[in-house]
Amino acid sequence: MSYQGLIAETVAFRGLNGDNGEGYYARPTTAGKLPGVVLIHHMPGWDEWICEAARKLGYRGKSAIHPNQIETVNRIFTPSAEELDYYRRVVEAFDAALARGSAATTVDGKLVDYAMAAMAKRVMAWADSVGAKK
């Protein structure tokens, strides 16, 4: 199916506990700066897996269609204290590197540069806005 520059198709995937599921994958028909998008419908019993997959894809939240989903959505999408500690250390290390005249450093063996420092600051600001525990 094609709609205003998109091609959409149904995709099958294997999820939590080996269960099968389906979603829709939409991608642009021409090259551009926007990637494809996978939309997975709500499926009872899959809320945790779907939230974890969405967070790993870079999403910061999910629409809930039932009040029973709220705790799971909040728990999975809210940065943990360990994540916030890591991002705090990233910002501190990068600021120290800049003070030394370098635009890159490492934290826990991982490269930290402008892009990583900016992402760390965004996650920390987002966590502050949702009242994440530090």
Query: What pLDDT score does 97 carry?
Result: 98
Reading the chain (134 residues) residue by residue, the pLDDT tens digits are: 334 566 666 677 776 667 776 666 666 766 666 566 655 555 667 778 778 877 877 777 877 777 888 898 888 888 889 999 999 999 999 999 999 999 999 999 999 999 999 999 998 998 888 777 66
pLDDT at site 98: 98
pLDDT of residue 93: 98
If you compute the radius of gyration of the chain from its CA atoms, what whole number of angstroms results? 19
Amino acid 25: pLDDT: 66
pLDDT at 96: 98
Q: Give residue 2's pLDDT.
A: 37
Kindly report the CA angle at 123 between 62 and 53, in degrees rounded to 5?
Answer: 35
HSE-up of 106 (CA within 13 Å, CB side)? Answer: 3
CB-based contacts of 22, cutoff 8 Å, min separation 6: 10, 11, 12, 13, 41
